[in-house]
Homo-oligomer: A and B are copies of this chain.
């Protein structure tokens, strides 16, 4: 579409293939994937990738950005449909765990390790922050209603957040052996118990 000329459709198709391939590989194995692997899976040459993305980090950022925006969107929607804090908590855990099943490496984020090359994009950190904020909001609301015990909301949210990490899901999955939903249910029980106001 540049300079009055339509974008060539092979170029368009290849961009899609590259993004698709990169998404699949990154989601599964994180950023320690070779550019050549991505190219091979996409059925193109490495040069084609570099035409669109100046570096591996840029490709990672693009894939990560899309995945994180999507995840954030899903999390917002899921909580919006719930009206009590416990329901919102359950929704967050369910959604996060279901996504972890397919995209553990892409969603795995460690906010404290901000500088490790492209393994952690700022989008992941933003997703983490958004999730932390959502949890905190739920906790504050629960405290207002008296269903969630007192205590610094940011700290409680941080502890819950650890249990929402894809790694936790994988670990749990390994032990429980059941579906993502089964695992999520265990985590929900645990978190709810940890947060509930004492009887």
Taking beta carbons and an 8 Å cutoff, which residues of A are in contact with B?
110-112, 149, 151-152, 154-156, 158-159, 161-163, 165, 167-168, 170-172, 174-176, 186-187, 189-191, 193-196, 198-199
Contacts and interface: CB of A to CB of B under 8 A. Distances in A.
Contacts of A155: 172, 175-176, 186
- Taking each of A149, A158, A161, which has the highest tally of chain B beta carbons within 10 Å of its own beta carbon? A158
A198 B198 CA distance: 8
A189 B190 CA distance: 13
A88 B56 CA distance: 47
Given A112-B171, A162-B162, A163-B162, A151 B189 contact: yes
Quick one: copies of this chain in the complex? 2
- Taking each of A163, A195, A199, which has the highest tally of chain B beta carbons within 10 Å of its own beta carbon? A163
- Taking each of A112, A170, A174, A196, which has the highest tally of chain B beta carbons within 10 Å of its own beta carbon? A112
Contacts of A168: 159, 162
Contact of A154 (B162, B163, B170, B175): B175
8 contacts: A155-B175, A155-B176, A159-B168, A159-B186, A159-B187, A161-B171, A162-B171, A163-B163
Nearest to A191: B194
A10 B96 CA distance: 55
Nearest to A117: B32
A154 to B, nearest CB: 5
Q: Across the A-B interface, give the 5 residue pairs with the lowest CB-CB distance, nearest first.
A: A194-B194, A112-B170, A162-B168, A199-B199, A193-B194
Nearest to A165: B162
A165 B159 CA distance: 11
A133 B151 CA distance: 30
A103 to B, nearest CB: 15
Given A154-B175, A193-B194, A159 B170 contact: no
